[in-house]
Structure 1
Amino acid sequence: MYSSQMDNQTFKYTVLLMEGLKIAPQSNHLAFIFLLITYIFITVFNIGVLIHIFSEKSLHEPMHILFCHLPINDVIGATVVIPRVLKDVLSDPSTRYITYVECVSQAFFNHLYGTTSHTILMIMTFDRYVAICNPLRYSSIMSRKMVVKLSVGAWGVALVLVGILLGLTIRLSHCRSVIQNHICDNASLFKLSCESVVINNVYGLTFTVVLLTSSMGSVFITYFRIAMICIKSKSKATNSKAIKTCSTHLTVYLIMLISGLIPIVLHRLSENPEGRKLASILFHVVSPTLNPIIYGLQAKVIRQKVFKLFTKK
């Protein structure tokens, strides 16, 4: 049933069977409609906010330019998962085939989305720190050159880390052909092999720990220092600016962190694979849905345009 290839004594299936979600037949169409509407919302609103920032000159500031990476990443994260799930929801479980190349590609962009969700918010944290702790030097520190460096760093680090992660996996041979998941990820791919995956597990665990430690550490230290400045400052204007500037970023970060940690915890502790799958989908849905709303309404120019649009209607 499956085609395969032999290369230097390495056996790999070129077509895999995706286990997918186990949804009751009577709920298939409801799940499909919900996910489809959610995907349309994510795509339209994120791209809409992106276009508005680029077209509105008053929004061409480092804070908004750095934010642009977030809707781009959110659209990638939703696109790499939701269309595939939509297809499988209406497909017979025995026909949910995916090629090995497609599976590796999906796993790569899946992990890239998760990694850049942290690195992008980390560079946005740096921008908020400079704006509040060094307001007089903000323009000189957050120059166009610095914005480019931070942007390249956020995506470059993620590309390298994820590239190594998947590189260690695609070197393995296969003795199985079923992806025991609803989407392709690194763990699902290396579980196809009967070879030793100690290196994969060690690197994957180290990768996760370093990323989470760096992400949470930078946010905690930054907001601790901002809080200290607010406590020492007697200026209501400074404190008001800090709260307004940081509350949006912190809200988005906490939503991303919580929705991202739930599938990791369930993967390690839960005996319910369907609950883990659902949590994984929510990670690709919750943040991309809420981010344009939270940031869009926080930016005065975007908020006024949205209100004006609804007032006209």
Structure 2
Amino acid sequence: MTVLLNLICYQSSMKMANHTEVREFVFQGFSNFHEHQLTLFIVFLIVYILTLAGNVIIVTVIRIDHHLHTPMYFFLSVLSTMLSASETVYTLVIIPKMLCNLLGLSRPISLAGCATQMFFFITLAINNCFLLTAMGYDRYVAICNPLRYMILMNKRVCLQLVGAACSIGLIVAMTQVLAVFRLPFCATKVAHFFCDIRPVMKLSCIDTTVNEILTLIISVLVILVPMGLVFISYVLIISSILKIASAKGRKKAFATCASHLTVVIVHYGCASIAYLKPKSENTRDQDQLISVTYTVITPLLNPVVYTLRNKEVKDALLRATGKKPS
């Protein structure tokens, strides 16, 4: 992986015969908020610690609680673990560098380092998109075809869905990174706090229209298509729930989907704003605010949502602390 990224960046530098060679980038980060950088550092550090703690607790509890290892809760366990692991990893590749920048301890990042950061961020973000889509299908089967749930959502099918989500993330991320880092770069200052696609492409010496079209196509495929599938799932789910005779049964069915639907709205909403809007619509500060939402705030929301809105995980946490679930 590292060797391939180094090769990509080397080819990029070799294409710049008529330009100043660029070997590293410098993040401008939150330089426009110079007087508030210490405050931002403290806030982001607290959020980061809470995010890591929350995700580690959820992964650990799911791992040790045997009640969540049954076929009925297998995919819930896998999704919660995968989301928590994904959030933990991509915060690790973004937030520590951002915190250093806020303290004025920033160091340049090499082209290979930038490519690696972009690769892991895109991979994990896309994994989440398709895992949430698979979870929508899981909820659809659980509510609309409960008697066939064990057949339709057996362990093999669940593992195939998870494997497909991870594979798509890896393939799309490699495609995007290859396309971006084959460009020749003339500038070194990234108007962002991490190596996101558009801020890095702006540093290119040549026209990036083809890359922008590719990025838009990929964004539509990995955001709108999964979001559409989730929407279809919930139309069918709501239709089935409304047919349930008892109010208690309808409430229980809605509660089953509440945590997933909350994460879906936050994840797809932030992703749509960030990658499907016209590139000139927002200012640099607005773009960074949107990015903070899905790189700092959303990773904190996921463990909170799955803890407070998901009865099975909440019960597992209570059992882990020696308390009896209600």
Question: 1:175 aligned to 182, 186, 209, which one?
Answer: 186
The answer to whether structure 1 residue 64 and structure 2 residue 77 are counterparts is yes
1:40 and 2:49 equivalent? yes
State which drifts further: 264-273 or 83-92. Answer: 264-273
Determine helix, strand or coil for the equivalent of 1:16: strand
Report the Cα distance in structure 2 between the residues aligned to 1:265 and 1:20, rounded to whole angstroms: 22
Whichever residue aligns with residue 279 of structure 1, its letter is I
- How far, CA to CA, are the matches of 1:198 and 1:25 in structure 2? 33
- Give the corresponding residue for 1:263: 274
Amino acid at match of 1:78: T
Q: 1:271 to 1:285 in 2, by over 3 A?
A: closer
Tell me the percent identity. 27
Give the CA deviation at 1:277.
0.8
Structure 1 residue 80 corresponds to structure 2 residue 89: no
Which residue matches 1:140? 151
When residues 89 and 153 of structure 1 are mapped into structure 2, their CA distance, relative to the original with a 3 A threshold, is same
Query: Residue 306 and residue 130 in structure 1: after superposition, are their counterparts in 2 closer, same or farther (change >3 A)?
Result: closer
Shift of 1:274: 1.4
How many residues get paired? Answer: 306
Residue 203 of structure 1 deviates from its aligned partner by 0.9
Q: Which moved more, 1:159-168 or 1:292-301?
A: 292-301
Amino acid at match of 1:216: M
1:189 to 1:26, Cα distance in 2 relative to 1, 3 A: closer
Residue of structure 2 aligned with 1:54, choices 57, 63, 66: 63
Which residue is equivalent to 1:89?
102
Paired residue for 2:175, among 125, 146, 164? 164
Letter paired with 2:266: I
1:283 partnered with 2:283 = no
State the TM-score, normalizing by the size of structure 1: 0.89
Q: Is the 8 A contact 2:223 2:271 kept in 1?
A: no
Tell me, yes or no, if structure 1 residue 118 matches structure 2 residue 135.
no
What whole-Å deviation, never above 9, does each CA across 1:101-121 have from its counterpart, x for those lacking one?
111111112222332221111
Cα distance, 1:35 vs. partner?
0.8
Report deviation, 1:266. Answer: 6.6
Instruction: Give the gaps of 5 or more residues in structure 1.
Output: none
Deviation readout 1:223-259 (Å, 9 max, x if unpaired): 1011111223324454233201111111111122223
Q: Secondary structure at the match of 1:17?
A: strand
Letter matched to residue 77 of structure 1: Y
Q: Which amino acid aligns with 2:29?
A: G
Q: Find 1:197's aligned residue among 188, 203, 208.
A: 208
Alpha-carbon distance in structure 1 between the residues aligned to 2:86 and 2:293? 15
Partner of 1:109: 120
The amino acid of 2:48's aligned partner reads Y
Please give the per-residue CA displacement for 1:168-197, whole angstroms capped at 9, x wherever unaligned.
Answer: 112222222222222111222222222332
1:193, 1:8 → 2: CA distance?
Answer: 11
Does structure 1 residue 98 correspond to structure 2 residue 109? yes
1:242 aligns with 2:247: no
How much has 1:310 moved relative to structure 2?
A: 11
RMSD, aligned α-carbons? 2.5
The answer to whether the aligner puts 1:292 opposite 2:297 as a matched pair is no
By relative contact order (CA 8 Å, sep 6+), the higher-ranking structure is 2
Distance 1:110 1:285, change over 3 A: same
Q: SS where residue 203 of structure 1 aligns? A: helix
Choose from 4, 18, 22 the match for 2:31.
22
Contact 2:45–2:99, Cα closer than 8 Å, also in 1: yes
- TM-score (ref. length: structure 2): 0.85
Does structure 2 retain, via aligned residues, the 8 Å contact 1:270–1:276? no
Pick from 274, 280, 285: which aligns with 1:274? 285
1:127 matched residue in structure 2: 138
SS of corresponding position for 2:26 = strand
Which amino acid is 2:101 matched to? D
